[in-house]
Structure 1
Amino acid sequence: MIYTVTFNPSLDYIVKVDSFRLGEVNRTRSEKILPGGKGINVSIVLKNLGIESVAMGFIAGFTGNEIQKRLKIFGCESDFIRIQNGMSRINVKLKSDEESEINGQGPRIGGADLQKLFDRIDRLREGDVLVLAGSIPNTLPEDIYEKILDRIKAKNILVVVDATRDLLLNVLKYHPFLIKPNNHELGELFGRKLQSDEEIIQCAKELQTKGARNILVSMAGEGAILVEESGRTHKSPAPKGVVRNSVGAGDSMVAGFLAGYLAHGDYQEAFRTGIAAGSASAFSEELASKEDILALMMQI
């Protein structure tokens, strides 16, 4: 089974406003509410591809109820830990002449709540897949990713980590199956701006020396690069299309990669499926559908 962890899920309130004017009353042209969070996005795209997963994390209040309800509408199974106080966050995504976001804080996660997550993690079995994705609330210890991976290090579990900076660097010693920085995040890890594919590949291989097995580097409109654990590299441009949505494309790439790998056991096929899934979400108003992913795979 695949398990995704989203520490701070959200309801994403997405509104479109023609020519937003600061300090004035603005009327929306369209609006929608979706369950949000990187791990949740991975679970939704996996489900769209016909692959079951269990979404884990913390929810609270009426917004938490709505997150769980909307995730169920997508057909996704969940095993959230309910926090008694506070409420899950609402993130406002404003699409106008420019895109702006206001992200909520989320509930305070206590020690007893965290222990419940550890108890669930301890139930994972050999052969399971664990996806840790996104930032963590400031109420959690900074080494929470490390604590989780340390608990399962003796089990044969495929671990995927999609995080930035120290959250990512500090777990490489646990040899995660896949990490997925984008090219800017990869450069930040080395304190420089990466200008070429060669530099990206060089930095990715440096992360392999620190413990990462496979590194998938997303590059937005420039496509992606995969450095396999064998050292073999793959590069592909992005398929052609009109970008309509930047939210969830990287998470969709993770889901597509996993789907391709689990179906075929082949990194090249996983890479193709990952790029197609990421691009399909970027070209859609919502997360990628199976039909859109399969159509884009014909271009790759």
Structure 2
Amino acid sequence: MIYTLTANPSLDYIMRVDHFETGETNRARECELYPGGKGINVSTILGRLGHENTALGFVAGFSGQELVRMLADRSFEKDFTDCAGYTRINVKLKSGKETEINGCGLELNPSNVEKLESRIRGLNGNDVLILSGSIPAGLDSMFYRHLLDLLDENVLSVVDATGDLLLNTLERHPFLIKPNQDELEALFDQKLEFVEDLARAARKLQDMGAKNVLVSRGAKGALLAGMDGAFYTASCPQGKLVNSVGSGDSMVAGFTAGYLESKNLEKALALGICCGSATAFCKDLAEYADIERLQTQSPVEIHRFTL
């Protein structure tokens, strides 16, 4: 079984406003509400690819209840822990440029964390654990590392996080980490202009413990530093960018599904790119038909190289 963790989920309230002006009364011409959270996005795409999975996480208050209700018809199991406070509501204002205001997270107590820890301890060598996104206030940057410490050594782990939350997991040798290019540059505090620069930075993360490092690059595709010692670049299919939210999560889901199906890094990368691109070309997360269409109409070009 594949398990995803969304420790700090959200309701994403999207408001589209023409000619937004600060300090004035602005009226939205369109509003939408979506369940948010990186792990939830991964679970959604995995389900649409036909992979059974269970979403773990914390929810709270009326907003948490609405989040669970909105996920009811998605094809994955839900095993959320109820907490105090409220599941955060993030406002995304779209008016030319996009402005985001992320709400405060929920309030965890030790029993909430202990319940999750017990669930993690129960995973076995046939399972996969995907840790995605931010964590609530009150938890420190060792949280994901601590969860990996609880795992059976044969469980495949995937980490999609930033900064120390990611770096602290590397000694536990996650199967896959997925920084985007901006996040990779922030980790090493330098601009990485060329593919070779990205490859060397990704290799440093492998030297620190990661087995595979997948660097998403938006319209430029992705770079993979593989556990076979090679690097792979993948092109991005052509299409109109509609919404980039969830694209990286879709890539994680596609790569994981592709590897479980084939045990082949190139096939995993190709499916990851298709899933990420399909979501970028849709208003919301891609459906299976969107992914299948890209696979048929715009095959991903992959190039292998070494340094």
When normalised by structure 2's length, the TM-score is 0.94
In structure 2, the partner of 1:12 is 12
Offset at 1:142? Answer: 2.4
In structure 2, the partner of 1:254 is 252
- Residue pairs, 1:161-180, within 5 angstroms: 161-180=159-178
- Residue pairs, 1:132-281, within 5 angstroms: 132-152=131-151, 154-281=152-279
Give yes or no for contact 1:14–1:95 (8 Å, CA) kept in 2.
Answer: yes
Is 1:75 the counterpart of 2:75? The answer is yes
Give yes or no for contact 2:105–2:137 (8 Å, CA) kept in 1.
Answer: no
Judge which range, 257-266 or 210-219, deviates more: 257-266
- Residue pairs, 1:47-62, within 5 angstroms: 47-62=47-62
Instruction: Name the SS for the 1:54 alignment partner.
Output: strand
Give yes or no for contact 1:216–1:226 (8 Å, CA) kept in 2.
Answer: yes
CA distance in 2, matches of 1:186, 1:297: 28
Give yes or no for contact 2:126–2:155 (8 Å, CA) kept in 1.
Answer: yes
Offset at 1:23? Answer: 2.4
Length, aligned pairs only: 298
CA distance in 2, matches of 1:287, 1:26: 28
Instruction: Name the SS for the 1:28 alignment partner.
Output: coil
In structure 2, the partner of 1:86 is 85
CA distance in 1, matches of 2:222, 2:31: 31
Offset at 1:214? Answer: 0.6
For structure 2, which runs of at least 5 residues remain unmatched after alignment? 301-307
Is 1:41 the counterpart of 2:50? The answer is no
CA distance in 2, matches of 1:193, 1:295: 35
Instruction: Name the SS for the 1:44 alignment partner.
Output: helix
Could you list the per-position Cα deviations for residues 171-202 of structure 1 after superposition, in whole angstroms to 9, with x for gaps in the alignment?
11111000000111112221211010001111
- Give the % identical residues: 50
Offset at 1:143? Answer: 0.8
CA distance in 2, matches of 1:74, 1:12: 17
Q: Which amino acid aligns with 2:34?
A: L
Q: Which amino acid aligns with 2:107?
A: R
Offset at 1:141? Answer: 2.6
Give yes or no for contact 1:60–1:88 (8 Å, CA) kept in 2.
Answer: yes
Offset at 1:147? Answer: 0.7
CA distance in 2, matches of 1:33, 1:207: 37
Give yes or no for contact 2:141–2:168 (8 Å, CA) kept in 1.
Answer: no
Instruction: Name the SS for the 2:71 alignment partner.
Output: helix
CA distance in 1, matches of 2:53, 2:42: 9
CA distance in 1, matches of 2:201, 2:195: 10
Could you list the per-position Cα deviations for residues 76-104 of structure 1 after superposition, in whole angstroms to 9, with x for gaps in the alignment?
31100101x21111111111111111111
CA distance in 2, matches of 1:56, 1:75: 14
Give yes or no for contact 1:110–1:139 (8 Å, CA) kept in 2.
Answer: no
Offset at 1:165? Answer: 1.3
